[in-house]
Amino acid sequence: MSHFKNVLIYSDYNKHKNTGCIPTVITAEEIALYIEKIPPAPAVVQEALNHARAGDLTKASKSASEDPALRLYLKTLINRPIYGFRNEVSDVAQIFGILGLGASQQTLYNYLLSLLTPKKWELFSLTNHQFYDLQASISKHWEAILVHLKINDKEIQSAISLIPASIIVCEALFAKRKTEVAQLRCVKALDFNTILFRLSGSDLFDLSGEIARKWEMPERISKLIKSASGMDQTLTGQERVLAQWMHLLLFYELSQSAFVSAGLNEFIDFKIEFVQDIYESFAQVVQNT
Amino acid sequence: MRAVVKGRIGIFYLQGFLDGNNAPSFLTIEDVKATEDLNVDMLLVSLKKVIFFNKNGLEVFVKLLSTIRNQKHIIVGFCDYDHAKFNAINTFFKDELNFSLFKTQEIAELFTSSNKGESRTVLLYNEDSSQRSAMAIELFDYGHNPIMAQSKHEFEEKKKASELYYAIIEDTNLGVYGQKVATRVTGNAIIYTISHFLDAEINDTFNLSYHLNSLNVGFRLFIFDAYKVISMNVHALNFFTKLASAAAEYNASICFVGLSFEKTPESFKNDLEDAGLMFFDNMDDILKNKELLEELGAGGGVTAKKSRSLNKALVNELPLFIEATVSTIAMMTNAAATKNSVNIQTLTIPNTQDQYASSIGFYGDIDGLIILVFPKSIAKKACELLIGDPDASEEEVLDSLAEFVNIIGGRAKVLLSSNKHVLDITLPRTYSDIKTLMEIAHDKKGVQVDLTFEGERFIFFLTR
């Protein structure tokens, strides 16, 4: 009987022996490869962005019109319910005119980000249209927040566009490890951002910042995006204020029913103590938007 | 959203904003089903990271909690809130507080059973004197030492010496409380507190899986503190008789202390004695009699007389258990694992120094026990992901090790379910030294798999 057991074990063992080493979770190499694979910003979009940064909306819309995919994106975005237009708006010059300079630049960043969205979301139960809704809603609320804070800065206005990049990065890195992470989260309330940080030393917002750098966005944007995780305790002045509002805005959006259902509410850790003192003002601003 | 389970407590960790619109989205039908299937004594919703909530939002969870409480007789409620949130909940549910409120998770843990057996001194105050007394009685039943302040002034005065207390209990309300049998651990004995009329409901209120787990991990003396029992009927008699049969398989002893037969038929006593149960008048008759304790099996890790051998069903699934273990460790340490050897033998640990061990049992279609022996360095690394601090204390590492083994148990359960095996896992146990482990496992024959993680030896042992 004992001999029989041994044979059985070794035969089963050999089936698995070929695998030898079991793949690990997320390596630094995998992260580097992911960043490396991110395509550069298309020339047409770069050109439109340069014109927008220089304040020339006409040239920006002309450049943007040359890219059919961008044209379609702009048309889809501006006709989302949050913008509230009764009649369809389809002309790029008209769209840019409605949005204004700051929001047009922001929308171009949103488009760049949309290029990274997966064909099929696996980790989060999301569709690309829902993702565009999230982008649009964040952008609209951010605009109102900056008015409230009396900040008139196109780069700061645009920076918010890259915040949802953290969701795309999370989807890309964790989709294949969905089961393992779910098991881990059965016994410990760990968010994806913390798991990634403890495994690799970088968090999702660091990687979003890397994407901004790859797309040659100003260094300030990259820095602002990183601060939105709410993990940097050393921030002071305007940087801290912006980080607080971004962090709370992100959680406000991720608490919407569709995004809770998608599983997005749990993807990063909400630093409630970091935003507690701005909550009252925040509630007033979003209520009036 | 799924509840996170630690020990015997399941907790939903909510974040952000909670209102009537989004609250139903937190719970899918599968989530509700998974929650109903949880094997816990307490189910809570943490409000620590909820910045805004309203009554409609809370009600979605209250409904789920009430359903679970009615089905399983467990404690349900909310935890981790500040004074303002506590007041808001009381205002929302003023006349219908049919759940419990625990200011922190640490306070909630005092009201559940654990294998740790630590008696805590706590300061307690509630404006409502009946709540105050109810909490003190519950805490006492769980083996703690509650200091009850009779007035707000007395409470504030005593609170100044906060270092004297493990926890200061305020803004806490038991509400409609679960009816599970209270459990505490004293040395190597497990004490269950039972009260009032014992009938068929004992099947629901007694935590059988906890009891079986305790048998599996080596406890051999179980005492029913029955001072407050008024009488029992034939259903309860049958229940205790079956419990005695299960205990006999492990050579364990079950005792009743303080049970009066004024309203319970004397013939029940004879039946229970025939089944192997013993009766004592006072708790001290057992706990202060060392010789008797030894005789009853509470002297240490006495192993079951009837040692069970490996079977084909268990061995067939060995690769799945190994895969669950190795992939979990790889995930937690971000390091690759190599399998070195597989043998059927008794547990052999060449180097017993600087090692931690842990075990978790499983039962259902197949049953057995997984034992893991780690070098301390690997254990610490594996737990770093859970703790987030490389300089964590030994207590924190051992606590996380239990969670870690729980993950392995959970992974094995999922993998085996794909082979159509339905099984459940028990509470994990950790060992800070190998000696205690060997007292339980030295004569058990099983499959020993030696693995290497970053050059360090790691042992996986599967037995019954």
Q: What is the pLDDT of residues A142-156, one digit of tens each?
A: 989 999 999 988 788
**Distance between CA atoms of B406 and B213, rounded to whole angstroms?**
13
Q: How far is B15 from chain A (nearest CA, A)?
A: 6
- Residue intervals of chain B classified under CATH 3.40.1550.10 are 312-463
Q: Does A241 score more than 60 pLDDT?
A: yes
In the numeric block, the tokens 């204004």 are attached to A100
What does the pLDDT look like over B318-350, one tens digit per residue? Answer: 888 888 888 788 777 777 778 888 888 888 888
Inter-chain Cβ pairs, chain A and chain B, closer than 8 A: 147
Nearest in space to A138 (alpha carbons), one of A105, A162, A113: A162
pLDDT band at B180 (very low <50, low <70, confident <90, very high): low
CB contact under 8 A, B407 and A183: yes
Give the pLDDT confidence score for residue B335 in this predicted structure. Answer: 74
pLDDT exceeds 50 at position A272: yes
Contact B411 A190 (CB under 8 A): no
Q: Output the CATH code of domain B182-296.
A: 3.30.750.24
Which of A9, A20, A265 faces B447 most closely, judged by CB atoms?
A9
- Residue A112: per-residue pLDDT: 85
Tens digits of residue pLDDT in A27-86: 777 888 888 888 778 888 889 988 988 888 899 989 998 888 888 888 888 888 777 777
| B18/A21 Cβ within 8 A | no
Assign A167 a pLDDT band (cuts: 50, 70, 90): confident
Residue B6 pLDDT more than 90? no
Q: What is the pLDDT of residue B167?
A: 93
pLDDT surpassing 50 at residue A8: no
Residue A189 has pLDDT above 90, yes or no: no
Is the backbone of residue A56 left (phi > 0), alpha (psi -120 to 50) or beta? Answer: beta
More confident residue, B410 or B192: B192
* Range from A2-6, A119-123, B82-86, B107-111 carrying the lowest mean pLDDT: A2-6
Average pLDDT of chain A is 81
User: What are B210-247's pLDDT values in tens digits?
Assistant: 787 777 767 788 999 998 888 999 999 999 999 998 88
Q: What is the mean pLDDT of residues B337-365?
A: 84
**Residue with more model confidence, B403 or A283:** A283
Chain B residue numbers with beta carbons less than 8 Å from the beta carbon of A185 are: 2, 4
* Interface mutation vs chain A, best among B13, B322, B329, B453, most A CBs within 10 Å: B13
Domain B4-169 in CATH 3.30.750.24? The answer is yes
pLDDT value of residue A203? 84
- Is the pLDDT higher at B13 or at B263? B13
High-pLDDT (> 90) share of chain B, % = 22
Please report the pLDDT score of residue B56 as a whole number: 92
CB-nearest partner of B22 from A27, A189, A260? A260
Interval B356-375 mean pLDDT: 84
Q: Where in chain B is the domain with CATH 3.30.750.24?
A: 4-169, 182-296
Range with lowest mean pLDDT among A78-82, A121-125, B460-464: A78-82
Mean pLDDT of B435-450: 82
* Residue B203 in this model has a pLDDT that exceeds 70: yes
Mean pLDDT of A104-122: 87
For residue range A83-106, list pLDDT tens digits in order. Answer: 777 788 888 888 888 888 888 888
Q: CA–CA distance from A228 to each of A31, A194, A244, B35, B282 (Å)?
A: 20, 14, 7, 33, 62
Distance separating alpha carbons of residues B222 and B191, to the nearest angstrom: 6
Question: Which H or E run includes A82?
Answer: none
> How far off is chain A from B127, nearest CA to CA, in Å?
29
Spell out which residues of chain A touch residue B323, defining contact as CB-CB under 8 Å: 16, 22
Question: Which residues from B are below 8 Å from A248, CB to CB?
Answer: 51
Residues of A in contact with B406 (CB under 8 A): 186-187
Average pLDDT over residues A237-250: 91
**What are B384-421's pLDDT values in tens digits?**
878 877 788 888 888 888 888 888 888 788 777 777 77
| CATH code linked to domain B312-463 | 3.40.1550.10
Taking the C-alpha atoms of residue B138 and residue B142, their distance in angstroms, rounded to an integer, is: 6
Q: pLDDT band at B308, cuts 50/70/90?
A: low
Q: Which residues of B touch A184 (CB under 8 A)?
A: 331-332, 385, 407
Kindly indicate the confidence band of residue B255, based on its pLDDT and cuts at 50, 70 and 90. very high
Higher-confidence residue of B89 and A80: namely: B89
pLDDT at res. A25: 59
pLDDT band at B179 (very low <50, low <70, confident <90, very high): low
The least confident of A22-31, B216-225, B368-377 is A22-31
Closest residue in B to A4 (Cα) is: B312
Residue B299: the pLDDT is 54
Indicate if the pLDDT at residue B105 is higher than 90.
yes
C-alpha–C-alpha distance, residues A236 and A248, integer Å: 17
Which residues in chain A (182-221) have CB-CB distances under 8 A to chain B?
182-190, 194-195, 198-199
Read off the pLDDT band of B307 (50, 70, 90).
Answer: low
Residue with tokens 């340490």: B333
Q: Which helix (H) or strand (E) holds A281?
A: helix A279-287
Q: What is the mean pLDDT of chain B?
A: 84
For the segment A97-122, the average pLDDT, to the nearest whole number, is 86
Q: Residue B269 pLDDT more than 80?
A: yes
Closest CA–CA distance from residue B427 to any residue of chain A (Å): 12
Q: A248 pLDDT band (50/70/90 cuts)?
A: very high
For residue B176, pLDDT beyond 90: no
Q: What contacts B53, CB < 8 A, 6 or more positions away?
A: B17, B18, B19, B47, B85, B88
Q: Flag if A188 and B22 touch (Cβ within 8 Å).
A: no
CB contact under 8 A, B388 and A275: no
* Contact assessment for residue B446 and residue B398, using Cβ atoms and an 8 Å cutoff: no
Task: Please compute Rg for chain B using Cα positions.
Answer: 23
Stronger pLDDT, B461 or A9, i.e. the higher one: B461
Kindly indicate the confidence band of residue B178, based on its pLDDT and cuts at 50, 70 and 90: low
Most confident listed range (A70-74, B127-131, B187-191):
A70-74
pLDDT at A7 over 60: no
What does the block give as tokens for B69? 């409480």
